[in-house]
Amino acid sequence: MSQSKIPRTAVVPAAGLGTRFLPATKTVPKELLPVVDTPGIELVAEEAKSAGAERLLIITSPGKDGVVAHFVQDLVLEHTLAARGKESMLAKVRNAPSLLEVASVIQDQPLGLGHAVGCVETALGDDEDAIAVLLPDDLVLPGGVLSAMARTRAEYGGSVLCAIEVDDEKISAYGVFDVEDADPATPHVKRVKGMVEKPAADEAPSNLAAAGRYILDRKIFDALREITTGAGGELQLTDAIALLIEKGEPVHVVVHHGTRHDLGNPGGYLKAAVDFALDRDDYGPELRAWLRERLDQ
Ligand code: G1P
């Protein structure tokens, strides 16, 4: 199997208001809320790095400077930890700044995910023919789906997304794919014939939903200029992808069968935190015992 890498730039949209997490997100960006002790956006940056990205391009909004600051070295803090012999903490605070080159662009108005992604075009090099986009609300586990998507782009060209199976009751919260088989030898890869953002359950073309991981051909920027306001009154990335398909551009999905957590709402965030904590040697055993006791009450 070839070792395809995702595109050099991994774009992370982090400009949202985090309204589902108020009041916590009044002053703390949602992307910095800890999954155990590590901000969700750091986990996503680690995923991008392991798939071969070189640069993290964070889309932020006025007043959310803390998101980018998390990836900047804090020499005073590092010095203090080193002086106190806190080596394991030192390694933890050094992790985020050491992962990838970091840059940011500002989305100055909350006009939707499509508009946000459109803001990064001028920050790309002329030689970059595609971008990866990772939504920090989505944790897709185990890792590896981005690499499978890169292999799919190497084979078919165009754009490649990650799909997960979602029940009928929840499908209207997602971008939903209309698909057909691509090659019987790789049943987890499907060709996308159409895509619709947040359809009513009875109008959803399938149960395959977009899970916040995209490899987008640079042609996406032309499509983003053409779309008009869509679901929720926002400029939707899904609508630009649907337009690429209409124009005959190849779009495929890799169907992911592992875990996916939605950090974008308190319920999903709690599940992610518990899931991660149970796997940790430092917190797992005690939490497991306490949960058992608590659930028996
Ligand atoms: C966004 C996308 C949607 C995708 C979802 C995955 O929606 O617009 O297509 O399925 O992320 O989490 P949001 O959750 O921001 O409403």
Instruction: Compute the distance from residue 135 Cα to the ligand 1 centre, in Å.
Output: 8
| pLDDT recorded at residue 8 | 98
- The pLDDT assigned to 3 comes to 67
Q: Which atom of ligand 1 lies closest to the CA of 16?
A: 15
Give the end-to-end CA distance of the chain in Å, rounded to a whole number.
Answer: 50
Alpha-carbon distance of 163 to 190, in angstroms, equals 9
In this structure, how many other beta carbons lie within 10 angstroms of the beta carbon of residue 26? 9
Q: Maximum Cα–Cα distance for the chain, whole Å?
A: 61
Which tokens belong to 113? 């995910």
Mean pLDDT per 10-residue section of the chain, whose length is 297 residues: 83 94 94 97 98 98 93 97 98 98 96 98 98 97 94 98 97 98 94 98 97 98 98 97 98 96 96 97 98 95
3 state SS of 198: coil
Q: Residues near ligand 1 with C-beta < 6 Å? A: 113, 135, 137-138, 174-175, 197, 209-212, 237-238, 264
Distance 156 CA to ligand 1 centre (A): 24
